[in-house]
Amino acid sequence: MRILWVWAITAMGLAVIAHLGMGIQANSTVSIIVAALVLGLVNTFIRPILRLVAIPFTLVTFGLFGWIINGLMLWLVSRLVPGFHVAGFVAAVLGAVVLAAISGVMHWIVRR
């Protein structure tokens, strides 16, 4: 059940980001739902490997390189999901930051 909540919260966050006009666009609700699913899979399987490889960079930047990795994951999802587009690297990193904030607030609300 928790997986469904995380998926729904991620989809809502992606929908908000797509409507903010930050260089991230979604053609339909279906593309947002699929992008949320793919983002969950990418974060489960690929992100841990990248974080392990990037430990030196993360230590040197005091953890800020984690945002770069999150942006790369969002950019990768845009390449894998038709109808979900990220304009560039800066848009991907900013989108990842906003998505993390939205997800954090939504998870806090759901837990209460």
pLDDT given for residue 44 in this prediction: 95
Residue 59 binned pLDDT confidence (cut-offs 50, 70, 90): very high
pLDDT given for residue 102 in this prediction: 95
91: containing domain = 2-111
How many domains does the chain fold into? 1
Would the pLDDT of 112 be above 80? no
Tens-place pLDDT, residues 67-92: 999 999 999 999 999 999 999 999 99
Tens-place pLDDT, residues 34-49: 999 999 999 999 999 9
Q: What string of DSSP letters covers the chain?
A: -HHHHHHHHHHHHHHHHHHHTSSEEESSHHHHHHHHHHHHHHHHHTHHHHHHHTHHHHHHTTTTHHHHHHHHHHHHHHHHSTTEEE--HHHHHHHHHHHHHHHHHHHHHHH-
